[in-house]
Structure 1
Amino acid sequence: MADGQFGFATRAVHAGNIPDKATGARALPIYESAAFVFENSDDAAARFALRKYGEIYSRIVNPTVAALEERVASLEGGLGAVATASGMAAEFITFVALAGQGDRIVASSQLYGGTITQLDVTLRRLGIETVFVDGDDPADYAAVIDDRTKLVYAEAVANPSGEIADIEGLAEVAHAARIPLVVDSTMATPYLMRPIEHGADIVIHSATKFLSGAGTVLGGVVVDSGTFHWDEDKFPLFYEPVPSYNGLTWVGNFAQYAFLTRLRAEQLRDVGPAISAHSAFLIAQGVETLPLRVQRQVDNTREIAAWLEAQPQVEAVHWAGLASHPHHDRALKYFPNAGSGSVFSFDIRGGRAAGRRFIDSLNLFSHVANIGDVKSLAIHPASTTHGQLSDEQLREAGIGEGTIRLSIGIETAADLIADLGQALENSQESAGADGTQSGAHSEEDRS
């Protein structure tokens, strides 16, 4: 039976891994080796020249890492994947593989704070400009794409606003401009939605989150659909001879594998954000239970989001699975079976002061700067994960003074609701009758 004919849960367990031929080990072996022995001098030369596939050095290829890459690519429906040391590393090597000095990226303003800073600060220092689009209409993206633009970038489910990207619409806009659509699908997971099926060309995951699932390890994955045509006028580097590899060209020698090969043989080689074999093993173990975990998390989220929406201390709940959310119809389109993820935000009455009291009152929820854990997590984005953003950037990202982000785990939903309930009560202790906080605008609260 071909790989694509197996069900999702089967591939989550088996893709990329067969029993070890030498020992019979059924679990994925951890190849903790920096380098690998060559068969002979000709073999070594062929591998270094990219004329032959094989392990050289774990910064570029490692058997344990390769198993993880194949597993995630199978789940996303991609041609292949490259794993990295973190989600931020996965983003960075993708951006610098596609854009250089004088080029432009068009991106949603509804992004994780670290991504916004990478685009707006680090890449800008390298001469790569990013135009952030404050809106969800693909036409808004088309309006700012110019001849220098090399990619369109968005999150499938925005962190933490919960907005759902119109992936099909964005793909049409990007492809009309002969550039790829790159989607961060960390919050969606391949279990809930696969962007490639809706027209995305490249998918990025922070494997630290749901793919791992236990909050124990860092990692990132870049998945390539293998279907994007690299136009020579838009992407000349894919066609120019590569001096460090004896004049080969990425498209000419590797065809549909051009992007993946360049990402591995150039970006991993030169920038060096390699994931360790042990980290790849832990993430691969997590992927095996991905469908079970995510389904439980979404079931909990549906119950908790509906409960929060009915609480007097809550001004708004931003989860697209609710009929009240402006992107509810879009969520039904892209997430028809299970719901739009288990990470969402809500706005608490009383602003920043109430938000602080809420966070400090939680017992079962952990105050952690992470998402996708089997344990439920909570954080106040404006003062933490997105604290480096300006007031305007916070507004564009859909984050208010009283916005709380929750990542729902697999615990009993009633226990989580009880914890949220007592924290909501405590958050309003010094609130006036109208729900505003006494002293809410003090200098301390503004810090």
Structure 2
Amino acid sequence: MSDTPTYGFDTLQIHAGSAPDPATGARQTPIYQNTGYVFRDADHAAALFNLQEVGFIYSRLTNPTVAVLQERLATLEGGVGAVATSSGHAAQIMALFPLMRPGDNVVVSNKLYGGTVTQFSQTIKRFGWEAKFVDIDDRGAVSRACTKKTKAIFCESIANPGGHVADLESIAKIADRKGIPLIVDNTTATPYLCNPIAHGATLVVHSTTKYISGNGTAMGGVVIDSGKFDWSASDKFPSLSEPEPAYHGLKFHETFGHLAFTFHGIAIGLRDLGMCQSPQNAFLTLLGCETLSLRMERHVANAKKIAEWLENDDRIEHVTYAGLKSSPHARRVKKLYKKGAGALFTFAVKGGYDACVKLVDSVELFSHVANLGDTRSLIIHSASTTHRQLTPEQQEAAGAAANVVRVSIGLEDADDLIRDLDQALSKAVG
């Protein structure tokens, strides 16, 4: 497409990155279900492997179907490039990989998805990395946590499951002062509701498994690069600014400029870690992406109606939906999320842990599923499932206390969903 910045979101979510197939004229992006690609000649192969020419070598690195998805998501987020991965968790490791060395740390919000908390508090230790968890709303604490060994700040735009809304602009200012990138997980908000790069983020990650694909059929993740960070401004990021031994001393930032992070993610990250997205999943995600804005409008409308009903029900202690007028994040939502606060939130049930378990077992229309962003409405008791490995204190900080249930509101009739919750609450609480 020409002049893509002039097109609206609804147009870009359908057209960005794609064109009719040059061989067949097929209008929908084909599934290039193959592993390797024939080189024109020996010089062509050498140029590709030496990063002197862009093209397709092997599907662990580059694939035509995946490439369309990467360009589309980068365009929707306002980035310059993207690296698609096998999952959202893979995207988080891929985002950190070019930045971190043994002994380095990342400052992380304590209001995160439980699996991310575990990945950052436990798994990354095996790389010699450390995560320093802080209250992301406490700007002083965030700033004090940053040391010479800090290589990034990480938060979620709308936290899963608690619905906390991050003040991205304030956090970005801290990251700028410290000379480090801000990485934002935008899975829950999607680029339709929030554009972290416009608010100062350097990198954006997604689990494309969720709202972007939208129907619970395709695993995937993505790292999107804003192209705005100067990787050579200090000696903090030698993988991007210093000679790379595997490419005869090539300096990624000097050679590729604003695309340095993206090229490193493919040429080093996917090459060595191998966490690539499959062409089949990329194809399914592209199909979902075409209706993202339409679905998010309905998700938001349904979530607002159901959250308001729950807030006025005597069986409920509180509701965390940031789209409520009573939410402590209402002003921030109005500033950052003009199209709505998403469709994921929690509510606390009177009766505690046992009542929550009974509620989950009693729903009929909601599905008891450890996922979110589906067209179907989903429910889960995080303390006994997704956040089970965390301490009670960590569960509380993440918004997943024992008396809390998480819901991902789908596209069904909102009144039907309310009736289902009503009957289930009657069985769980009385």
Structure 1 gap ranges (5+): 430-447
- Residue in 1 aligned with 2:290? 288
* Counterparts of residues 292-303 of structure 1 (less than 5 Å): 292-303=294-305
Aligned length: 428
- Distance in 2 separating the partners of 1:123 and 1:66: 28
- Residue in 1 aligned with 2:7? 6
- Distance in 1 separating the partners of 2:97 and 2:114: 19
- Distance in 2 separating the partners of 1:183 and 1:32: 31
The secondary structure found in structure 1 opposite 2:379 is: strand
The secondary structure found in structure 1 opposite 2:211 is: coil
Shift of 1:124: 1.3
RMSD: 0.9
Structure 2 gap ranges (5+): none
Residue by residue over 1:55-97, the C-alpha shift from the partner in whole angstroms, topping out at 9 and shown as x without a partner, is 0000000000000001111110111111000000000111122
- Distance in 2 separating the partners of 1:174 and 1:75: 23
**Is the 2:16–2:71 contact (alpha carbons within 8 Å) kept by the matching residues of 1?**
yes
Q: TM-score, normalised by structure 1?
A: 0.95
1:341 is aligned with what amino acid?
G
* Counterparts of residues 335-414 of structure 1 (less than 5 Å): 335-336=337-338, 338-414=339-415
Residue by residue over 1:171-191, the C-alpha shift from the partner in whole angstroms, topping out at 9 and shown as x without a partner, is 000010000000000000001
- Residue in 1 aligned with 2:336? 334
Aligned with 1:311 (options 310, 313, 337): 313
Q: TM-score, normalised by structure 2?
A: 0.98
Aligned with 1:325 (options 324, 327, 332): 327
- Residue in 2 aligned with 1:77? 78
**Is the 1:156–1:187 contact (alpha carbons within 8 Å) kept by the matching residues of 2?**
yes
**Is the 1:227–1:256 contact (alpha carbons within 8 Å) kept by the matching residues of 2?**
yes
**Is the 2:107–2:150 contact (alpha carbons within 8 Å) kept by the matching residues of 1?**
yes
**Is the 2:29–2:283 contact (alpha carbons within 8 Å) kept by the matching residues of 1?**
yes
Shift of 1:323: 1.4
Identity %: 49
2:273 pairs with 1:267: no
**Is the 1:114–1:385 contact (alpha carbons within 8 Å) kept by the matching residues of 2?**
yes
Residue by residue over 1:372-402, the C-alpha shift from the partner in whole angstroms, topping out at 9 and shown as x without a partner, is 0000000000011111111121122122111
The secondary structure found in structure 1 opposite 2:389 is: coil
- Residue in 1 aligned with 2:46? 45
- Residue in 2 aligned with 1:88? 89
* Counterparts of residues 10-409 of structure 1 (less than 5 Å): 10-230=11-231, 231-336=233-338, 338-409=339-410
- Distance in 2 separating the partners of 1:115 and 1:43: 41
**Is the 1:232–1:238 contact (alpha carbons within 8 Å) kept by the matching residues of 2?**
no
The secondary structure found in structure 2 opposite 1:200 is: coil
- Distance in 2 separating the partners of 1:234 and 1:257: 18
Q: Post-superposition, which runs of at least 4 consecutive aligned residues in structure 1 deviate over 3 A?
A: none
- Distance in 1 separating the partners of 2:357 and 2:182: 38
- Distance in 2 separating the partners of 1:372 and 1:257: 30
The secondary structure found in structure 1 opposite 2:145 is: coil
- Distance in 1 separating the partners of 2:40 and 2:336: 48
